[in-house]
Amino acid sequence: MQIAMIGTGYVGLVSGACFSEFGVNVTCVDNDESKIQRLLRGEMPIYEPGLDGLVASNVKAERLRFTTDLKSAVREANAVFIAVGTPSRRGDGHADLTYVYAAAREIAEALNGYTVVVTKSTVPVGTGDEIEKIIREVRPDADFDVVSNPEFLREGSAINDFMRPDRVVIGTESERAQEIMRQLYRVLYLIETPILFTSRTTSELTKYAANAFLAVKITFINEVADLCDRIGADVHDVARGIGLDGRIGRKFLHAGPGYGGSCFPKDTLAMVRTAQTAGSPMRIVETVIDINNRRKADMAERIIAACGGSVEGKTIAVLGLTFKPNTDDMRDSPSLDIVPALQKAGAVVKAFDPEGMNEAKQMLTGVSWCDTAYETMDGADAVAILTEWNEFRALNLNRVKELLKRPVMIDLRNIYKPQEMAAAGFHYTSIGRPSYEPKLEEAMV
Ligand code: UDX
């Protein structure tokens, strides 16, 4: 089996490397010459644990190649995957399909023999039909099928998600296309992964419905957390109490500063637009988007409140900037709302992130950048944890107390226990969990 993967962004690169690990011959294509040159030198354009090793071993085994030459990659392929970006269109929230349609046109020109054209990028319902139309127009003679095969990869654990998925969804009614897709995913059949064959439209919708549902789940627990704060209940226990019900499930019930990243914000918006256009509005998703946007902005207020109601002239140490750990991705990260709001309120912000600093420096201004967590906290009036990186989970609390001017910690990811933090002498604020007063002698420090 030979495939071409168009686009070496997050989805394309991970999917291409993983397919080659499955034994498929993969050519990854990108029109960014410098990116391809870097990949040929073994440099990864993104941070994803395990990706560099996977790419290196498959390049060595000659199953994985990189090129800017789309035409020759497509000519040799049994299947061509479209994995280019689909950003939110400025202004209206619709997914921007410019890159997808441009890829479809170029692919059409090079089609050679029966080929399956697969959309891996998250695309609105009906995009598969449009791609089919474009290819047909450009090459009326071509023998092809257009298939939807959405990705469900989480950044930071994308390789595992690809290799051991909960399910694979394949949208096509063509038996020839189904057979090729079956062969590509043969390794997953062997480990009994559920593979769902359905119509193209259903598959496209399934991807949006999955992400929207998860966004609803996170937003639900975030609102429960706010209620917990008001009535003195513990959201951690509520999440466990409801999550053990198999109908609800324990995952995606961690209260926090609001969801971010490259998918949930964009996909929820696109789903809302699709639903509105179809005359069947998704009011629950509309509300979730609104709540989540407000939440990110409100988080700065929490930090300010924990600092006694004002941060004017105070220094706040911010630990973690990416939208979640194990990624360098800053897209729609809550830190992009929180840091400027703190600065606007008069705070000096010092910040550190284990992987996201390069990205963050391009998106945030006026921040004093630090090289370690401890350097960030040195001389600060309070520390706020925005991302739950492992290295922030086991800070030396005595050292933290020595470095901070006052032992104030705002933990927006609930990685510490309120009672233990109080015992350690911290004024500790988290999300949806009762706080305890620090021990008297410590509080006097
Ligand atoms: C998501 C989907 O999980 C994946 O299936 C899809 O293909 C792409 O979008 P990703 O954006 O990488 O993946 O991150 P994910 O781990 O899902 O987290 C998204 C956001 O939700 C993060 O900001 C995270 O901090 C937040 N989140 C997640 C919570 O606040 N609470 C949770 O319980 C889970």
Q: If the chain, 445 residues long, is cut into consecutive pieces of 10 residues, what is the mean pLDDT of each piece?
A: 96 97 98 95 93 97 97 98 88 85 97 97 93 98 98 93 97 98 95 96 96 98 98 97 98 98 93 95 98 95 97 98 94 97 98 97 98 98 98 97 97 97 96 84 50
Ligand 1 pocket residue status of 323, Cβ below 6 Å: yes
Assign domain 208-293 to its CATH superfamily.
N-(1-d-carboxylethyl)-l-norvaline Dehydrogenase; domain 2 (1.10.1040.10)
Considering only CA atoms, which residue is closest to atom 21 of ligand 1?
259
Q: How far is the CA of 188 from the centre of ligand 1 (A)?
A: 24
Please report, in angstroms and rounded to a whole number, the separation of the first and last CA atoms in the chain. 68
Distance between alpha carbon 217 and the CA centroid of its chain, in Å? 16
Q: Which atom of ligand 1 is nearest to the CA of 153?
A: 7
Contacts by residues 182-187 (CB-CB < 8 Å, ≥ 24 positions apart): 183/1, 184/1, 184/3, 184/19, 184/22, 184/24, 184/79, 185/22, 186/22, 187/22, 187/23
Considering only CA atoms, which residue is closest to atom 10 of ligand 1?
154
The question of whether 263 is a catalytic residue gets the answer: yes
Which of 15, 154, 157, 321 for a ligand 1 pocket mutation test, highest count of atoms within 8 Å of Cβ?
A: 154
Q: In CATH, what class is 296-443?
A: alpha beta
Kindly report whether the global pTM for this prediction surpasses the value 0.85: yes
Considering only CA atoms, which residue is closest to atom 27 of ligand 1?
259
Q: Which residue in 18, 28, 228, 263 is the catalytic one?
A: 263
Which of 219, 263, 389, 430 for a ligand 1 pocket mutation test, highest count of atoms within 8 Å of Cβ?
A: 263
What is the 3-state secondary structure of the chain? CEEEEECCCHHHHHHHHHHHHCCCEEEEECCCHHHHHHHHCCCCCCCCCCHHHHHHHHHHCCCEEEECCHHHHHHCCCEEEECCCCCECCCCCCECCHHHHHHHHHHHHHCCCCEEEEECCCCCCCHHHHHHHHHHHHCCCCCEEEEECCCCCCCCCHHHHHHCCCCEEEECCCHHHHHHHHHHCHHHHHCCCCEEEECHHHHHHHHHHHHHHHHHHHHHHHHHHHHHHHHCCCHHHHHHHHHCCCCCCCCCCCCCCCCCCCCHHHHHHHHHHHHHHCCCCCHHHHHHHHHHHHHHHHHHHHHHHHCCCCCCCCEEEEECCCCCCCCCCCCCCCHHHHHHHHHHCCCEEEEECCCCHHHHHHHCCCCEECCCHHHHHCCCCEEEECCCCHHHCCCCHHHHHHHCCCCEEEECCCCCCHHHHHHCCCEEECCCCCCCCCCHHHHCC
Ligand 1 pocket residue status of 254, Cβ below 6 Å: yes
Distance between alpha carbon 239 and the CA centroid of its chain, in Å? 22
Assign residue 347 a region: left if phi > 0, alpha if psi is -120 to 50, beta otherwise? Answer: beta
HSE (side-chain half, CA atoms, 13 Å) at 10: 22
Q: How far is the CA of 252 from the centre of ligand 1 (A)?
A: 8
Ligand 1 pocket residue status of 260, Cβ below 6 Å: yes
- CA gap 123, 201 in Å, rounded: 10
Q: How far is the CA of 287 from the centre of ligand 1 (A)?
A: 18
Ligand 1 pocket residue status of 218, Cβ below 6 Å: yes
pLDDT of residue 94: 79
Q: How far is the CA of 181 from the centre of ligand 1 (A)?
A: 27
As a CATH number, domain 2-198 is 3.40.50.720
- CA gap 171, 142 in Å, rounded: 20
Domain ranges of the chain: 2-198, 208-293, 296-443
Q: How far is the CA of 36 from the centre of ligand 1 (A)?
A: 28
Which of 119, 211, 218 for a ligand 1 pocket mutation test, highest count of atoms within 8 Å of Cβ?
A: 218
Distance between alpha carbon 248 and the CA centroid of its chain, in Å? 22
pLDDT of residue 218: 98
The radius of gyration computed from the CA coordinates of the chain, to the nearest angstrom, equals 24
Considering only CA atoms, which residue is closest to atom 33 of ligand 1?
252
pLDDT of residue 93: 72
Q: How far is the CA of 259 from the centre of ligand 1 (A)?
A: 7
pLDDT of residue 445: 46
Q: Which atom of ligand 1 is nearest to the CA of 261?
A: 11
pLDDT of residue 440: 54
Which of 211, 221, 259 for a ligand 1 pocket mutation test, highest count of atoms within 8 Å of Cβ?
A: 259
Ligand 1 pocket residue status of 220, Cβ below 6 Å: no
Question: What residue type is assigned to position 369 of the chain?
Answer: W
Ligand 1 pocket residue status of 432, Cβ below 6 Å: no
Ligand 1 pocket residue status of 352, Cβ below 6 Å: no
Domains 2-198 and 208-293 fall in the same CATH topology: no
